[in-house]
Amino acid sequence: DSARFRHLLSKHCDINVHNVHAYILGEHGDNQFAAWSMTHIGGINIDEYCPFCRKCEDWKSERKKIEQQVRDSAYHIISYKGSTHFAVGLAMVRITGTIVRGENSFMTVSTLLDGEFGISDVCLSVPSMVSDKGVSRIIESPLANNEIISLAGSAAILREAIKSITG
């Protein structure tokens, strides 16, 4: 989903995707969210870059549209192809390659939280350093208040899902 997010932003801003640093956090699905506070284009925060971009009149509504497109993209892929297995496979190849090569890469991956972001005992997709040891550390990037609330909401939804299975 982070790759889809970067792709949509690069298309919107008409800039090479390699210049876009953007991440989707939380749980995969309807409760994932874009970490706009961590979104940069060419090293410039997206909100500061927007005046240079000049691609839209109303950046707030455009942001919502882009985030919804990322969320809906999996449903569109499923309606056309029946699943998102290929995208999941590509993500696994990238993550596994990072581990095997010991690349020490900054990625958003689902990992068990132990107090990070004020959340414990649940796995969420958060900024992490991935090395030859797997997730070597979780990067507690500063998030906006609404993003912290969204992350806590994702944790609550996953806990409820686990509780419904385990009783």
Assess contact for 38 and 117: CB atoms under 8 A. no
Assess contact for 39 and 60: CB atoms under 8 A. no
- In this prediction, residue 102 has a pLDDT band, given cuts at 50, 70 and 90, of very high
CATH class of the domain comprising 2-166? alpha beta
Give the per-residue SS3 of 129-159: EEECCEEEEECCCCCCHHHHHHHHHHHHHHH
7 is a catalytic site residue: no
Kindly state the average pLDDT of the residues 89-94: 88
Worst-scoring range by mean pLDDT, 80-89, 104-113, 137-146? 80-89
Q: What is the pLDDT of residue 103?
A: 94
- In this prediction, residue 75 has a pLDDT band, given cuts at 50, 70 and 90, of low
Helices (H), ranges, the chain:
2-13, 46-53, 59-81, 85-101, 145-166
Distances (CA, A) of 32 to 8, 22, 100: 16, 13, 28
Percentage of residues in the chain having pLDDT higher than 70:
93
Q: What is the pLDDT of residue 78?
A: 64
pLDDT at 10 over 70: yes
Residue 119 or 47, more confident: 119
* Adjacency order of strands within the sheet including 40-41: 20-21, 40-41, 44-45
Residue 55 or 80, more confident: 55
Kindly state the average pLDDT of the residues 56-65: 85
- In this prediction, residue 83 has a pLDDT band, given cuts at 50, 70 and 90, of low
Q: Report residue 25: phi and psi, to 5°.
A: -120, 170
- As a whole number, the mean pLDDT across the chain is 90
Which of 7, 12, 21, 28 is flagged as catalytic? 28
pTM metric for this prediction: 0.87
